[in-house]
Structure 1
Amino acid sequence: MMPRASRAASGLPPQSLRAITQLGADIALARRRRKIPQSLMAERMLVSVQTLRRLEAGDPTVGLAVLASALLVFGMTNRLADLVASDSDRAGMSEDLARLPKRTRVPAGEDLDF
């Protein structure tokens, strides 16, 4: 049974598809460098060999849990957590800074005794 493609996957821009394809190729390379056969890798990930092949081929319909499982096998789970970490989100930080008030005042009647 073929997986049903989501609208998000079918509408991805070319640069996103290239990035996903590269991610799949990088996962395949990491597996081969560790000399892990696809059958063993799939077993460790708790997925079928076909699902691992789809991940390595850059199939955008492969679920995030499959990617997380592959990273777990490689001992790289922290990389998933760092993808959009707030401390590396320059655009978000710029937006936060733009919303800061230009000046600050002590509210009337407040005692700022440190």
Structure 2
Amino acid sequence: MNKNATFSMPIPVRRALRKLGRDIHDARMRRRIPAAVLAERASISRTTLVKVEKGEAGVSIGIYATVLFVLGLVDRLGELADVRNDPRGLELDEERLPQRIRRSSSTKRTPDK
């Protein structure tokens, strides 16, 4: 991704990527894994790992996911857009629920004779 594309990115997105990068760096440090070792385990270059830890937008999500896997944190990635973590989506679904439900004519009960 070129620099101009990064600047057109919304500020909250850039902040979130920088935070992700810092969190990945902190997780690596807490585990006492040298950068070279993490890069090797993730099959990426040391330069790419530096970009990940800076939260650069030009790095593919697959590389971020691989680094998280090496750190043992990949499970949480799959939960990012999970419906249970989407209160706004759940609210919108509730708004579309019917006010009442009518029985179809084929399921209406007939009086017993």
Q: Under a length normalisation based on structure 2, what TM-score does the superposition of the two structures give?
A: 0.88
- For the aligned residue pairs, the C-alpha RMSD in angstroms reads 1.7
SS at match of 1:62: coil
- Any stretches of 5+ residues in structure 1 without a counterpart? none
User: What is the alpha-carbon distance in structure 2 between the residues aligned to residue 78 and residue 43 of structure 1?
Assistant: 21
Query: What does residue range 28-43 of structure 1 map to in structure 2 within 5 Å?
Result: 28-43=25-40
2:15 to 12, 15, 18: 18
- 2:84 paired with 1:97: no
**Greater shift after overlay, 52-61 or 7-16?**
7-16
SS at match of 1:51: helix
Cα 1:8–1:35 change in 2 (3 A) is same
Q: Which of 1 and 2 has greater Rg?
A: 2
Cα 1:15–1:111 change in 2 (3 A) is same
Q: Which residue number corresponds to residue 79 of structure 2? A: 82
- 2:105 paired with 1:108: yes
1:67 to 50, 64, 87: 64
Q: Under a length normalisation based on structure 1, what TM-score does the superposition of the two structures give?
A: 0.87
Q: Which residue number corresponds to residue 51 of structure 1? A: 48
User: What is the alpha-carbon distance in structure 2 between the residues aligned to residue 7 and residue 39 of structure 1?
Assistant: 30
**Greater shift after overlay, 6-15 or 55-64?**
6-15
Q: CA deviation at 1:50?
A: 0.3
After the TM superposition, which segments of 4 or more aligned residues of structure 1 sit over 2 Å from their partners?
4-10
- Any stretches of 5+ residues in structure 2 without a counterpart? none
